[in-house]
Chain A
Amino acid sequence: MTDAVRLKPEHAVQPLKARREQGGLREHVRKYPAFWVGLAILLFFGLLIIFAEQIAAADPLAQDLSVRLKPPSAEHPFGTDELGRDIYSRTVHGARVSLPASFFVVVVSVVVGSLLGALAGFLGGVVEEVVMRVADVTLAFPSIVLALAISAFLGPSLTNAILAACVVLWPEYARLMRSQVLVIRSLDYILAARSLGLPEWYILVRHVLPNAWTPLIIKASLDVGGIILLVSALSFLGLGVTPPTAEWGAMIALGRTKFYQWWLATFPGLAILIVIFACNLLSEGLRDWLDPNYR
């Protein structure tokens, strides 16, 4: 009986680890300032979410009609709204709605989209046809238009806004992941792995996927900002978060017709602007760092 050598996954040559960055943390910060500034701003908002009660002691929902529509003062640093609620407190607590919701949408979309995209690229055939045609149809709508229609049909609520955002976002990852898999699959080292007799699933998991992630991560960091914009836009239009919840887009909507009370819309809007800007910075920095082809 011949003892044919049967190759098992552990015999495979491990993919090369990425070259370690030269220099320490300080050097990294100097080389990729955009990444670190973006990250720092997002961490700051993370702290706001955790310590919202300590940072803004006033109840974001407490109404006090004796101080309606008051401009910023020592007592109410961002002023008060129509129902005498403290806008500073509402802005701080608003981070608890937009950021986790957006983060959740992006994580779900990345997982679902990249899984389906990888399967489509790797298996081809019927799976690819079905997944990519569904993605094409979804991508035929500008995202906010489809999200608007879905929210309208399901009724306004944060859950439905999140659902709508997931529906419009996952196909983008599916498409990106599929194209990544298709490119990587044709590279020589995959041919080498295959000629070693490694099972297909192993090649996919250990050789293709680890090299396909970079653009998805860069896109994901950008999309956290994009989804915050989408969810707050839906709330602004009256199709997302419902009152009295403190949410940035809904707060801006309250200031829509009140030009005199500029503080109503200004502060929640600044919060959205800063978070999206941080995500954009982070994404730019990640691109410089992780994608050597892009300079």
Chain B
Amino acid sequence: MLRYIARRLILTIPMLLGISLVLFLIYNLVQIDPLVMIVGERAMDNPEVVAAAVKKWGLDRPIWEQYLTYVVNMARGDFGASFLTRRPVMDDLRLFLPATVELALSSLAFATVLGIPLGILAGVKYRSLFDRGVWFISLLNASLPPFWTGLIFLTIFYFYLGIMPGPGRLDPRMSDPERVTGLYTVDSLLAGDVQAFGSTLHHLVLPTLILGGFTLALVVRVTRAAIIEEMRRDYIRTARGKGLSERRVIVRHALRNVMMPLVTILGLAFAGLLSGAVMTETVFDWPGLGQYLVKAAVNFDYPAIQGGTLLIAIVYVLVNLVVDVMYGLLDPRVRYD
């Protein structure tokens, strides 16, 4: 098991090198002066800064050596400085990542807590009116452009009805909780600020509905398909033959085997959450990685784009690794060799 994890981790290294190579090639192909990228336009007049950057990033060396230097600097967590915030990109990412994590976790929780029971019911009552209704709604849900739905929700629930807060993570009249984890829900509780905690939860509702909605459709569909498949198996007939209640047959027998395909789509769902975050965070003015990336892209803040994209790719690769490992933990038939 541990050997498997170790081997998989080693195998991600060429993957990450490939990812960094793609990003390196993109900016070399489009003929942007890498020096401007690293030191920022304002510092270009300062010969000392420029000379230091040339030395550090090996810009006077041949291109393959430049790539090596680039990889080494990246591996040290040095992505250069952002043009916009003028801080090291790494510090920025640390600052913005928690907001995205908080939103993604709450969306994932929403999607699974609602999606698994819905999927089970639809699958058990296969081809019933309820099943068709769930199918139709999840298909419609999967067709909603999140940046538009977010806007419509804000218009209705915030602007016209006034029952939901506007964009942002916290009531603007409140001060941010002292930063410990960067997750406002956790930090506000640690600070003992119940009001801030309530406001944070309230602000999470709409973005969670939008971002989690897409994942919800995915979870419902996979659960439904899996339960239909499992309910036809022999062991279900045996369980029924023993005289178990239908409820017990589903919860104790079928559900365990439905977990497998659900874990498999977790990686996919996570990618969806990261993609969705780019759009949702922009609409809800949510200070996360997605918004950071969009702002960087619109303002041609190349170091920030590079660092942010690389971080997302790394997170994504690691999540897929975790999914593969969980797969083995849940199903003893999966062997690691």
A: residues with CB less than 8 A from B are 133-134, 136-138, 140-146, 148-154, 225, 229, 232-233, 236-239, 249, 252, 255-256, 259-260, 262, 265-266, 268-269, 272-273, 276-277, 279-281, 284
Contacts and interface: CB of A to CB of B under 8 A. Distances in A.
Interface string B291-325: 00110111010100110010011001100000000
Nearest to A275: B143
Across chains A and B, which 10 residue pairs bring their CB atoms closest together, nearest first? Answer: A269-B148, A152-B297, A137-B18, A277-B143, A259-B159, A276-B143, A142-B275, A144-B275, A142-B271, A142-B274
Contacts of A255: 151
A233 B290 CA distance: 13
Interface in B154-168: 154-155, 158-159
Main secondary structure of the interface of B (DSSP, over half): helix
A141 B152 contact: no
B147 interface: yes
A38 to B, nearest CB: 10
A149 B26 contact: yes
A266 B145 CA distance: 12
Contacts of B158: 259
B145 A284 contact: no
Interface of B: 14-15, 18-19, 21-23, 26-27, 30, 32, 139-140, 142-145, 147-149, 151-152, 154-155, 158-159, 271-272, 274-275, 278-279, 282-283, 293-294, 296-298, 300, 302, 305-306, 309, 312-313, 316-317
Most buried by B among A152, A229, A237, A276: A152
A237 B294 contact: yes
A140 B15 contact: yes
Given A148-B297, A149-B297, A269-B152, A233 B18 contact: no
A281 B142 CA distance: 11
Nearest to B282: A237
A138 B25 CA distance: 13
B298 A237 contact: yes
23 contacts: A133-B14, A137-B18, A137-B22, A138-B22, A140-B15, A140-B317, A142-B272, A142-B312, A144-B279, A148-B297, A148-B309, A149-B309, A154-B30, A236-B147, A237-B279, A237-B297, A238-B298, A239-B297, A249-B145, A256-B151, A266-B152, A273-B144, A276-B142
Contact of B312 (A141, A232, A268): A141
A137 B19 contact: yes
Given A152-B296, A153-B305, A229-B145, A144 B151 contact: no
B144 A140 contact: no
